[in-house]
Chain A
Amino acid sequence: MKALLRAAVLALWCGAAVAAIEELEFQNPEQEQRYQQLIDVMRCPMCLNSNLSGSDAPIAADLRAEIRAQILEGKTDEEIVDFMKARYGDFILYRPPLNRVTALLWFGPLVLLALGFVVARRMLTQQPAKGGSEETLSQEESARLQELLRDEDVSKS
């Protein structure tokens, strides 16, 4: 059991260490930086929750090579992103673009937060007024209360 566990941990560790280490040549550091940035913001089409830089799936390697080739060809970042979007859709981008379909995703949490504030405000402002009217006894009522309490004391003793 212990050996199995150790093997499993070791296997995980190896996978993490091997992921996406590639020797790459660029003409200048600026290109390399653009490359790094692009593979960080793009998602691997196969592994769902990993970006291109963090994935060792074959398709991720191919797409990295494609991005690198296009940078060397002199394509702009925008052209490269459009190229990927034409083939893999918005899915390829980790940061979803703002459009009709994704509006709920972007603004939903803000709407819920605003709603929470409105509800909290109403609850806080209404409570004391309501409570005050109910809890304060008129003079007559407090006299009656005193009377009742006295009666009880008398009956007990």
Chain B
Amino acid sequence: MSNRSKLFIPAAFFLVMLGLLFYGLGRDPSHVPSALVNRPLPEFSKPALFDENQNISSDQLRDGIFIVNVWATWCPPCHVEHPYLLEISKREKDVNFVGVNYKDDVKAAREFLEQRGNPFKFNLVDLDGRLGIDLGVAGAPETFIVDATGTIRYRHVGVIDNKVWAETFEPILAQIR
């Protein structure tokens, strides 16, 4: 290498670092990869929201695609996504929506769904947040796509709206249908 071209090494190095840092800047630091993607849905048996004497277990979530939505009435973004979930669940007949009522007041949760509509085929109560920990949940709302083999395929943190559904959920569902 000639002496002259050596002079450009620091500049090239600088550009590479600039590129790396710029790439890092564009990434969302709050996006945390889920440890549960491609792992089986954790086993559970939790009381049903509308009938405390009945339990809903993970064994019942077989044969089909499930969207497991962790929600609560104390969580404002859950209120935002609720109408979207209603609309989407009416449209997507082959997908089963499961509502995990997370660390909530059970009565308030029942009233919420009775008044505003119930997008969920299964409603279960996670009063102490133990199922939430098993799901690796950091808060609410969070939503998991579970395929027909009971494997978690995707974890979504935050609100689902039509855009998120079309851009993120549809492609994954298309793969596993």
A44-80 contacts to B (CB < 8 Å): 45-46, 48, 57-59, 62-63, 66
- Chain B window 129-158, contacts with chain A (Cβ cutoff 8 Å), 1 for yes, 0 for no: 100111111110000000000000000000
- Chain B window 7-45, contacts with chain A (Cβ cutoff 8 Å), 1 for yes, 0 for no: 000000000000000000000011011111000000000
Q: Are B132 and A62 in contact (CB under 8 A)?
A: yes
Q: Are A89 and B35 in contact (CB under 8 A)?
A: yes
Q: Is B103 an interface residue (CB 8 A)?
A: yes
Given A62-B132, A63-B133: A45 and B138 within 8 A (CB)?
yes
Q: Are A89 and B32 in contact (CB under 8 A)?
A: yes
Q: Is A91 an interface residue (CB 8 A)?
A: yes
Q: Are B35 and A87 in contact (CB under 8 A)?
A: yes
Q: How far is the CA of A85 from the CA of B36 in the complex (A)?
A: 10
Residues in chain A near residue B33, CB distance under 8 A = 89, 91
Residues in chain B near residue A107, CB distance under 8 A = none
Count how many chain B residues have C-beta atoms less than 8 Å from C-beta atoms of the other chain: 17
Q: How far is the CA of A58 from the CA of B132 in the complex (A)?
A: 12
Q: How far is the CA of A46 from the CA of B34 in the complex (A)?
A: 13
Q: Is A12 an interface residue (CB 8 A)?
A: no
Q: Is A88 an interface residue (CB 8 A)?
A: yes
Q: Are B136 and A58 in contact (CB under 8 A)?
A: no
Q: Are B35 and A88 in contact (CB under 8 A)?
A: yes
- State the main secondary structure of chain B at its contact with A: loop
Q: Which residue of A lies closest to B42 (CB)?
A: A87
Q: How far is the CA of A85 from the CA of B134 in the complex (A)?
A: 11
Q: How far is the CA of A48 from the CA of B30 in the complex (A)?
A: 7
Q: Is A3 an interface residue (CB 8 A)?
A: no
Q: Are A87 and B32 in contact (CB under 8 A)?
A: no
Q: How far is the CA of A63 from the CA of B32 in the complex (A)?
A: 17
Q: How far is the CA of A89 from the CA of B132 in the complex (A)?
A: 15
Within 8 Å by CB of B133, from A46, A48, A87, lies A87
Given A86-B35, A88-B35: A48 and B29 within 8 A (CB)?
yes
Residues in chain A near residue B135, CB distance under 8 A = 87
Within 8 Å by CB of B136, from A48, A66, A87, A90, lies A87
Residues in chain A near residue B103, CB distance under 8 A = 58
A26-59 contacts to B (CB < 8 Å): 45-46, 48, 57-59
Question: B-side interface residues toward A, CB under 8 Å?
Answer: 29-30, 32-36, 103, 129, 132-139
15 cross-chain CB contacts under 8 A: A45-B32, A46-B138, A46-B139, A48-B30, A57-B139, A58-B103, A59-B132, A59-B137, A62-B129, A86-B35, A87-B36, A88-B35, A89-B136, A91-B32, A91-B35
Question: A-side interface residues toward B, CB under 8 Å?
Answer: 45-46, 48, 57-59, 62-63, 66, 85-91
Given contacts A89-B34, A91-B33, 4 further A-B contacts (CB under 8 A): A48-B29, A59-B137, A87-B134, A88-B35
Nearest 5 CB-CB pairs, A to B? A89-B35, A45-B138, A87-B136, A46-B138, A62-B129
